[in-house]
Structure 1
Amino acid sequence: MFSPEAYALAEGLVSKAYINQGSQATARRSKLVTSLLSERRLPKDGWDDHSIESFLSEAAMMDSNNFLDNVGVGEREARVYSPLVARRHWNLAHGIGRSGDVAAEQPKAAGSSLLNKLTNLLVADAMRIAGLEDMGPALVLPLATGMTLTLVLLAVKSKRPKTATKVVWCRLDQKTCVKAVLSAGLELVVVSPKLVGDQLCTDLDAVRAAVEAAGPANVCCVVTSTSCFAPRAGDACSDVAKMCAELDVGHVVNNAYGVQATALCKEVTKAWRRGRVDAVVQSTDKNFMVPVGGAVVCSGKGNTEIVDAVRKSYPGRASISPVLDLLITLLSMGSHGWQRCLEDRGDVYGYMRTKLGECVGEFGERLLDTPGNPISIGVSLETHAKLSEDGKDVSFFGSMLFSRCVSGTRVVAPGKRQDVGGVVFDGFGASHDAYPVPYFTAAAALGTTREDVDRFCAQLRKCFKDFRKKAAKRGRAGDGDALDAAADRLAGVNLGGS
């Protein structure tokens, strides 16, 4: 807020030397903003909090509700009753976009519009750094992944023949995508993955057969996924993309938390370079460590029609909150900080595989062999299932971990049937009707540390020991000495294999 004239006048109150020193400091922060607006990419070094706060405060003063002489007489004037809420949102209360385009300029909110456009540019830069090359414009939406998928499917549907009402979905046992398809008024055609060793892989022949059986003109799109729970591997998106180009059907990629893994980004890049990819959806919270509530839609630079359609079909204005969270985080990281986060995650994944393999091998279990999944790790519970009646009580193992403050693990036992919106799945949770062994998963996701892994393994050892004790007390453990001997034999084999 200090103009050159204000600095000159200040010299009459404070020594000129001190005023010059102070003005140089503020000019240094101003250069950060000038550089950001000029380069329109992540700053190399992350900004300090005060610089970010100053930038947001200046931008907020460009919105009409913060004008000193504003007289608002409309039905939507960004009035906020609570000062606490106003401060939480930096007085940026007008939202972003207009009824015809969520990325359009908002006449009453020049500052908010500027921040929104910058966020789309910065997140696109971050995704390119992560490995998504030849990418078109990125669109940040204030919706989590599921609702964003629904909007994308509706956009694809609008570009397809009226008969195209089916979505061929490579099965991934998580309810969100199923609900997204059904919410878009489309019919789900489930294609199960094929089991190769421990790993569940894309069944390309089955995908093609499903499209041809329905008739390409009756298929809205094929939906593949990159990031997923082990033992499922990321889909062969590039092979599916070639197929979709050949058969002339749409292709949507659910890249929910795949931005953080270079291998998955390369597969998506390969897909839109060599075949058809209409849109790719990724979560902001999983990939950039912000609160839940945002997603990014993108595509290859050669096919941006669906991303444009999503932008124009969003009804009304949108909340700036998820956009603001992402902008603040990206400015705080800078490109160097973002690269460190990606590198650290890759390091922790390797560390987790090593430490987890050592830990579970002590108790006769093993890591599942899933080279196509660079984030999630599966661990067998076969030995411990034998301690419980018919193997059904092994799901209790997840509760034991949760009660010890271990969150995020998933225990999957065979035989579960689940109805999701009228679609019935056998073996739900495993992405397979009859996965051969019970297991649990853990993920080396962005932000996980080596210390987290060490603490997890310590709690895991306690759970294994307690589970065996509880089984023995229930009288279902059989001969404890014989069981220990069997576990020791399994441990020797499994440690060698992992």
Structure 2
Amino acid sequence: MDQIFQEFASNFVPNNYLTISLDAKKNVLKKFRIILEKKKIPKNGWKDDEIEEFINYISSLDSNNFPVTCGIGEREGRIACKLVARRHLNFSHGIGRSGDLLESQPKAAGSSLLSTLTNSLVLDYIKNIAGVKSTASCFIVPVATGMALSLCFLTLRKQKPDAKYILWSRIDQKSAFKTITTSGFIPIIIEQQLDASSELHTNVKEFENQINVLGPDNILCIYSTTSCFAPRNTDNLEKLAMLAKGNEIFHIVNNAYGLQCSKICHIIEEAQKNGRIDLFVQSTDKNFLVPVGGSIIAGFREEQVKNVAKTYVGRASSSQTLDVLLTILSLGESGFKELLAERKNNFIYLNENLKILAESLNETIIKSVNPISIGMTLSSLNINDVTKLGSMLFKRGITGARVISCTDSKTIDNYKFDNWNSHYTSNNPKIPYITAAAALGMKKDEVDVFCSKLKECYLKCKNSLEVA
């Protein structure tokens, strides 16, 4: 094609000029060929115009973008608003077919290519950048983490139809719990163990006890969590995985934002080697810095992952897949590694600065091995001022910090949780605290601003208490 173009174009432009330009074009096309051939994330990110050219070519393979087309069906990919068409880069058919999210569409070769390629690149990321090397398969599903977990539970129900219980290691996040009840299962809530230093750990013995009481045949799965806010730690995945393997019980891991942490990924990898993990689920927005709305379901057996894709009802939006692909091409392997290294360094910096702040306020950092989140006590504030502190921080642009009073209770689908947001129920009084996370994309100067504003607001709250 380039030779034919060059032959006729040389009638208008000197051939030596054309050769230089077309050689540059060949280098871009080589990038396109390599990514389709290798199914690996490019080492360095692409330029925006290269990404746009690549995506435009892929979308041109969908029937709604053919130069000549005559659609007479009920779903022909027509888009009324040009702004909408531009926003989605002319993709409109979605991905998958009714009954299988991974199946190709005859009218949408481009959308099918988009889906398959992106899933391959995400798998490359999970294995070779995040470090869960044994992962066999994964796919993006256009629902957030909670609904993706429900999809996993419903898939497992087909394989174990008589099981009605899910053993869940408590984490105080509403959707993490509702995914059980929404799927029609009975949650067995296993509280965290609180040690002498107020650190929270998985109550493995209670898992063993519940398996003995309920019987393995009646239990669908063990449902554990990795990423969470302090002082809760990553669940003891290895021991839970060994329990699952020994009792032939499925094991699902909520890995919401765990892909950004090498320590968590190593824990998943080792737990699978020594025990059993069937599926682990993570968010696209938290791990790939894209808009909310997608998640990644991954596993160590390709057949198990494909079974989940076959459970999805109908076609799916390609928006979340497109967002992830664009981000992967933009950042490349080097860009992601820079972000991951930055996050790890920011965690250290946040921990150091919060320790200095805590000492100046006569507070303490709550002991924890959580690799993303850090907690600091608020022992000198009364309950009203603890609540006030959270509001003051938010008004000053500090988002994401959690102020925990340890006095709240919450009822979800008729299940009551005492001391909501603390991950733990107990009649023993506990000190209120605040948590902050060093997550992917955070900048070092945000740590400085947070610590400064926290000190300012804390002192205002404490002084108002002293005046009273």
Question: TM-score when scaled to structure 1?
Answer: 0.91
Structure-2 residue corresponding to 1:491:
none
Distance 1:113 1:93 in 2: 12
1:180 and 1:4 map into 2 onto residues whose CA distance is 57
Contact kept, 8 Å, 1:278 with 1:305, in 2: the verdict is no
Deviation per residue, 1:300-350 (Å, 9 max, x gap): 2xx344312111111111100000000110111111111111111111100
Which of residues 383, 406, 417 in structure 1 aligns to 2:380? 383
> Could you tell me whether the CA contact under 8 Å between 1:378 and 1:442 is conserved in 2?
yes
Q: State the distance in 2 between where 1:12 and 1:467 align.
A: 79
For 1:392 and 1:462, how far apart are their aligned partners in 2? 17
* Other-structure match for 2:183: 184
8 Å contact kept, 1:220–1:249:
yes
- Report SS of the residue matched to 2:69: coil
* Residues 202 and 236, structure 2, Cα contact 8 Å, conserved in 1: yes
Partner residue, 1:397: 389
1:23-71 alpha-carbon deviations (Å, 9 max, x no partner): 1121111010011011111111111111100000000110000001111
Please point out which of 354, 358, 361 is paired with 2:359. 361
Give the whole-Å Cα distance in 1 for the aligned partners of 2:179 and 2:249.
19
State the shift of 1:150 in Å. Answer: 0.6
Cα distance in 2 for partners of 1:459, 1:14 equals 63
- 2:57 maps to which residue? 58
Identity, in percent, stands at 38
2:432 aligns with one of 438, 455, 465: 438
Correspondences of 1:66-465 after superposition (within 5 Å):
66-128=65-127, 129-160=129-160, 162-196=161-195, 197-300=197-300, 303-371=301-369, 373-384=370-381, 388=382, 391-434=383-426, 436-465=430-459
Asked if the contact 2:2–2:22 (Cα under 8 Å) also holds between the matched residues in 1, the reply is no
The equivalent residue for 1:494 is none
In structure 2, distance between residues paired with 1:126 and 1:306: 20
In the TM superposition, residue 392 of structure 1 has moved relative to its aligned partner by: 4.1
Distance 1:140 1:147 in 2: 13
* Aligned partner of residue 140 in structure 1, secondary structure: strand
> Does the 8 A contact of 1:140 with 1:295 survive in 2?
yes
Alpha-carbon shift at residue 182 of structure 1 (Å): 0.7
Q: Does 1:470 align with 2:464?
A: yes
**Alpha-carbon distance between aligned partners in 1 of 2:303 and 2:241, rounded to the nearest angstrom:** 16
Partner of 1:484: none
The equivalent of 2:34 in structure 1 is 35
- CA–CA distance in 2 between the matches of 1:7 and 1:148? 51
CA distance in 2, matches of 1:401, 1:210: 42
SS for the counterpart of 2:71 is coil
**Residue aligned with 2:350, SS:** helix
For 1:169, what is the secondary structure of its paired residue?
strand
Unpaired runs of at least 5, structure 2: none
State which drifts further: 320-329 or 353-362.
353-362
SS at match of 2:380: helix
The CA distance in 2 between the partners of 1:10 and 1:19, in whole Å, is 8
Query: Partners in 2 of 1:193 and 1:305 — Cα distance?
Result: 33
Moved more, 331-340 or 249-258: 331-340
Counterpart CA distance in 2 for 1:351 and 1:445 is 12
1:273-299 per-position Cα deviation (integer Å, ceiling 9, x unaligned):
111111100001011111101111111
Aligned residue type for 2:69: N
Gaps of 5+ in 1: 476-498
TM-score, with length taken from structure 2: 0.97
Q: Find the aligned partners of 1:102 and 1:470 in 2 and give their Cα distance.
A: 57
